[in-house]
Structure 1
């Protein structure tokens, strides 16, 4: 019997939809880009023209009434995620929701309960589980090269000390529910850490702004410490004042070795430049961006360059989603997992305000 093709409806037609979702939906044969909700198409920005044959809706309420839509992908600002995911689930659709999942853990837990009641899948787009550097690091940790892990540093630092110009179309630099750097970048860093190392026991957060001029009050930077009873300390950090030629990405230390990696995964920049999954070189890091593994050999530390693995790319998220829909595996990142991350972000904010470490 031929495998089922799932019709996908995408809510929103901005950067997230165009760069992080539609190319990967179209790269997996089990999915069909069926519909897009775009409130105000323009002559040079029209989903229906860009993707001939799709259905074009002006509202999500209209689209979820279409019985042929199987999966709804939500790519809007986070303050709309709860309403839109609830709407889709209660109308019998499976849901993939962009990160950050929801502004609050209460909303996240509510959606998880709604999905269970509706007997529908609820996944969150934690695509950076398939960053090439993270896949490489995971392999190094699991093969025992580092031994017992004691410190795990994960960074998303940039040097952008000037306050961004106001842009009404972007939520990422605005004071809105779910709009802090801890929600945006922290969703990725904390998800990777918990996915690899498990849930922490305690959380310490430092959340605020590094910019000298910050008229909006937007929290542009954070450092979050995850404390584990088994002795691991995770430092997850994103800052906007980091004047470095090469930004640190990972530094993980164990009793047998250390792994250090600079530079972000290349997929986002490649996608922005017009590359697509399947193109020659897509997802493959240049050798000058490889990390280094230092281990003890004959009683002395020896450092060697470690090639970044050829990644499954973000397409693997949608491949894994297709297998889950077919009853052949787990979701690529479940609502329950994402709810834990939102709770960690809430605790980090609370810890920062109170000036103390909190239990998770």
Structure 2
């Protein structure tokens, strides 16, 4: 007998909800049904009620959380609201998906993990870039072993936006804001998936724009992560990077290297209205294929390495549906998000004090 879809409440109706959650949830109708959306202040050209007829529209989180029929709450609001909303939803008996960054502090992460355990409800963090095509390609390269022993691993998310952006929440100084909580959360999570928790962190967290936004959040960061008997890892996001093609990955080993430019295409495709299952969705253009260099006859020889066809970001919700039915674990464990927060907090301490921080420190 087929079980009924899980009822989902979406909290927030900004870019995250419209691009990264609603289309993916709608693509799995046998698993999920969007029963309502919280939008505090609809506008003529931005109205969830008009965009999604037949779906309940609430004006506050409390209204949505009080609905007995809601099985899953998806929190897509600004980072400093995540803790209170996740806590209330879990205590109300809802399963929770929360956008990255998980929460701004380790203390908050600890408390939410305890509440999830106590209530028996699932808690997961939306780290969709675990299903980027280039990250899946990189994992395939590493599995094949052609690079030998990895000595250095670089992950970049650089862009060229030298002018200060409009005044949005993303550029304001507040808990969970700034580049390390935005793009850094993705790249740190990918590194954690590959190598686990590092022993030491050296962080440089700064603002690169010529005209710094008064009181604004940091816009750039470089982290050096040290692993015992492992590679030296660089995690970088720059906002001043005038390149025709931005470097994404550069991995060097004893018998080869792998270099990849450009970012995964799924975000831009979702913004343009494409959906998983559409022809070409998530497929990298040949111009962005990576380069694999191997040592052949004592000399380096480069070859093009095609990007794999991804399972797409929909895989997150497909796995989450299985977890809700007790068939697997959640797609991203909150413990993983907590471990990444420990790296971020160490990076801030390192940047402030000008030293390498051991993760054995409290």
- TM-score of the aligned structures, taking structure 1 as reference length: 0.97
User: Is 2:35 the partner of 1:34?
Assistant: yes
Q: Hey, what does 1:215 align to over in structure 2?
A: 213
Q: Secondary structure of the residue that 2:171 maps to in structure 1?
A: coil
Q: Hey, what does 1:358 align to over in structure 2?
A: 357
Q: Hey, what does 1:25 align to over in structure 2?
A: 25
Deviations 1:246-300 (A, max 9, x none): 0000001111210000001111111112212221111001101100100111221
Tell me, which stretches of 5 or more residues in structure 2 are unaligned?
none
Q: Hey, what does 1:6 align to over in structure 2?
A: 6
Q: Hey, what does 1:268 align to over in structure 2?
A: 267
What are the equivalent positions in structure 2 for 1:1-360 lying under 5 Å apart? 1-28=1-28, 29-166=30-167, 170-216=168-214, 217-360=216-359
Which portions of structure 1, spanning 4 or more consecutive aligned residues, are displaced by more than 2 angstroms? 215-218
Deviations 1:313-360 (A, max 9, x none): 100000111111111112111111111111211110110011100111
Structure 1 residue 2, shift from structure 2 partner: 0.7
State the distance in 2 between where 1:270 and 1:5 align.
26
Structure 1 residue 159, shift from structure 2 partner: 0.9
Structure 1 residue 46, shift from structure 2 partner: 1.6
Work out the number of aligned pairs and report it: 357
- TM-score of the aligned structures, taking structure 2 as reference length: 0.97
State the distance in 1 between where 2:220 and 2:129 align.
19
Structure 1 residue 160, shift from structure 2 partner: 1.0
State the distance in 2 between where 1:277 and 1:171 align.
29
* RMSD value, Cα: 1.0
State the distance in 2 between where 1:19 and 1:69 align.
22
Tell me, which stretches of 5 or more residues in structure 1 are unaligned?
none
